[in-house]
Structure 1
């Protein structure tokens, strides 16, 4: 198939494109290479893809309406994996307009491109942040997600609503994947694993929010990519059992699905830090701080729906995954 991967120079995008290329798909990778974090890391990720004869890179912002219209019209993609977005909960408190441009304007351009060019299936990145103020664990796709606590979360919930509208009006099959704290080699520098590893190796203290009373459903990148591609291959369908009198938020009478994609095994932050310390061989100096605005104390994915739909089942332990990241980090930065 010819597949568009947006955010191809990103953490999940690069790994996803690699697996698609390895199985024989043709991949067009799109990224704007912005400076939200070090563009050199994005360029180096991209350098792992560009030698492949079935890969072509397009530098373009998803918010560029005319550029996106031309790209879809010229390329005639079979399927689309939309991972490009302005990420980060904390950054959204300082720069909300970036989230509107990338996550809302950009997403409508993706939907319009898919609609007008007969794309078979759109798989897009949602986020566990949509669960917001929910406290019932584990988070389930059947639960309401109407109480976001950050503008980032609100834009991801909006993506799900926009996708449903296009599935309903135009029969466009769409599947949203709610990612739960993805980590691993080539990960983002604004994420905890990267920040903690860097600080420990440099002999600096690490900031531990909510005084360490946090739990996250850390999910290794290889497991995530397998789930993304399994989802791409299982096109969203309407649910014949959907009841509009008691609507299920994760399903529809349109070809629309929303799934959690996580590890289904939340880890306490202090245990995660211990895994990093063990991998590095150095104990961290910890600076305990209160919970940050827009953050939540715990995430926990119920993944039975995605397992039933695609057979997805994560297999990587936190100890092994953290070790793989630390090994990559030392090699990449020559430490």
Structure 2
């Protein structure tokens, strides 16, 4: 039997991860979430609707910036692996309130590490981000590329989190895998993220705000492929690793909009706008290291993933489930 902590476990990625971990016999999951008001609490509660019925799952509401809360949690539970996903999310919002991002994403990560070291928990999987690569001109992005020039507070906070993790590995022999996610999407994606936002607006006949000229490219990664990678990492040994998890393919913004249009069978009204501060022109993951060390094999093409997402969107809309999403 393994007992996992998933911080931020009521979120988009976290809730899918909880389901995948609980699908394996003998596993127990403790989900920590503070239900940050960044988006409607009802959405997160809906994310957990399946796992909350399971006896091997528990939800504990609390904040990783509360060291006493974390100490009590680790003291009262034997933990094998910590997935640390809790963070303030979003590149553009981080520019408006950088201190909040540094407090949650850097100090919060240190607090989790403090509790792990104090209570002899030695395996941490930390959610980082492709944003740490900044305006990297070399593609695809490799874990060995320099990442010392982030261009948003969010990116800086995630890179700092990786460094905090390395210090803990060096000083306390904490085993850490830092996972750089590349634009994750799929069912339950946060409502303000581009794919979900565009789908909702196109469906309702509203003009979508598209930044740039449509040529920017992203490595969009379907949620099932991300979860496969995270679960694979948790099953193998590591000391200190930094890994890209992406689809290792790029899609232009204008093509992404086209896939959503086709899946909805509706035409988009597009309001083209200037590029935004903090945005990069292209992301593209080199996943060879994750494939070699952890048998990572993403297999969802973006047009297929968009079709699955839109199917989920329409089904939930039809059932009037978690109406706060729409």
**TM-score, length of structure 1 as denominator length:** 0.93
Name 2:323's counterpart in structure 1: none
| Kept in 2: contact 1:182–1:221 (CA 8 A) | yes
Name the structure 2 match of 1:115. 117
Give the aligned partner of residue 278 of structure 1: 262
Provide structure 1 residue ranges, at least 5 long, that are not aligned to the other structure. Answer: 237-254
**In structure 2, what is the equivalent of residue 173 of structure 1?**
175
Residues in 1 aligned to 2:274 and 2:138: alpha-carbon distance in whole angstroms: 22
Q: State the alpha-carbon separation in 2 of the partners of residues 70 and 105 from structure 1.
A: 18
* Contact residue 127 and residue 179 of structure 1 kept, 8 A: yes
**Cα distance, 1:114 vs. partner?**
1.5
Structure 2 gap ranges (5+): 321-326
Task: Answer yes or no: is 1:326 the counterpart of 2:310.
Answer: yes
Query: Is 1:2 matched up with 2:9?
Result: no
CA distance in 1, matches of 2:77, 2:192: 33
Q: Which residue of 1 aligns with 2:32?
A: 30
Residue 135 of structure 1 deviates from its aligned partner by: 1.1
- Give the conservation status (yes or no) of the 8 Å contact 2:83–2:125: yes
Deviations 1:268-301 (A, max 9, x none): 1111111100100011011111110011011000
Other-structure match for 1:243: none
Q: Which residue of structure 2 aligns with residue 239 of structure 1?
A: none
* 3-state SS in 2 of match to 1:178: strand
Q: CA deviation at 1:177?
A: 0.3
CA contact (8 A) 1:121 1:235 kept: no
Q: CA RMSD in A?
A: 1.0
Instruction: Check whether the contact 1:178–1:260 (CA below 8 A) recurs between aligned residues.
Output: yes
Distance 1:109 1:141 in 2: 26
SS at match of 2:163: helix
Aligned length: 317
> 1:235 Cα shift?
2.5
- The 10-residue stretch of structure 1 (148-157 or 67-76) with the greater mean CA deviation from structure 2: 67-76
Alignment of 1:249-288 (within 5 A): 255-288=239-272
Runs of 4+ aligned structure 1 residues displaced above 2 Å come to: none
SS, match of residue 8 in structure 1: coil
1:12 corresponds to which residue? 13
Q: What is the rounded CA distance, in whole Å, between the counterparts of 2:279 and 2:273 in structure 1?
A: 13
Once residues 120 and 68 of structure 1 are traced to their aligned partners in structure 2, the CA distance between those partners, rounded to angstroms, is 15
Deviation at 1:324, TM superposition (A): 1.1
Moved more, 217-226 or 203-212: 203-212
Shift of 1:132: 0.7
CA contact (8 A) 1:210 1:297 kept: no
Whether the aligned pair in 2 keeps the contact of 1:174 and 1:257 (CA below 8 Å) is yes
| Residue 133 of structure 1: how far off its partner (Å) | 2.3
Cα deviation, residue 333, structure 1 = 2.1
The 1-side partners of 2:97 and 2:105 are apart by: 13
